[in-house]
Structure 1
């Protein structure tokens, strides 16, 4: 698939002021797929943890929010050495409010790492008392495919004049 949001992710990756990125949107819009595809094609490795299905991964954010410790645990869990050319993907972040808070510390203490978190609109906002890292994250809202993206996905892409090929 060719999602227009991929260009936004490329700009984020090369930004001098890059912060952890939250990709949010309705369920089933392709947040996880887009993040994984971006990591697969633009990074040496992807260290992905699913915070919905992995209770042990949620525990990485218990206690202090020391970024070095969190990254070591993610590396051990995924079997992926985390370097500055590894995409750290925190999938379904709404299931672990402390992980959302930890993004502040990724921004302040470890900006050299590339961190993307995915989550649904309602899920990210639903936890009362959770400290949202205002000013410490970049955000991208992913919507369902638009018509042009859909046509490309089914092999009916546009030609050089911008017209739809039929």
Structure 2
């Protein structure tokens, strides 16, 4: 099993960061789970405020995604993660507590 760790991509607005991640996900993963923390209409930020446990976070994100997020076959994109400090801080738990991490 490959070990994956979170990846943070920084750059100016509107240069294609999200597009390239979605494209990469379609080409190299069975599924892409995309979430934007910019407009938190679904209560997404509350997930990260209530737990730091990656397994529980994945379960809750799977519910919002409408299907199971599999760490080995799903690329998890947390767009605009800087809008939620709790989500950003959770990335270290993905690194340390899970065999497989996720990508932003």
Same fold (TM over 0.5): yes
The structure in which a higher percent of residues are strand is 1
Unaligned runs of 5+ in 1: 1-15, 118-166
| 1:54 positional shift | 2.1
Unaligned runs of 5+ in 2: none
Could you tell me which of 58, 68, 73 is aligned with 1:71?
Answer: 58
Which range moves more in the overlay, 55-64 or 90-99? 55-64
| 1:47 positional shift | 0.9
Structure number with bigger Rg: 1
Contact kept, 8 Å, 2:51 with 2:57, in 1: the verdict is no
| 1:17 positional shift | 5.6
The structure in which a higher percent of residues are helix is 2
The aligned runs of 1:1-166 (5 Å cut-off) are: 18-55=4-41, 56-83=43-70, 84-113=72-101, 115-117=102-104
Per-residue Cα deviation, 1:92-136 (whole angstroms, up to 9, x for no partner): 1011111100000000011414x222xxxxxxxxxxxxxxxxxxx
TM-score by structure 1 length?
0.57
TM-score by structure 2 length?
0.89
CA RMSD in angstroms comes to 1.4
Structure of higher RCO (CA pairs closer than 8 Å, 6+ residues apart): 2
**Residue correspondences, number:** 101
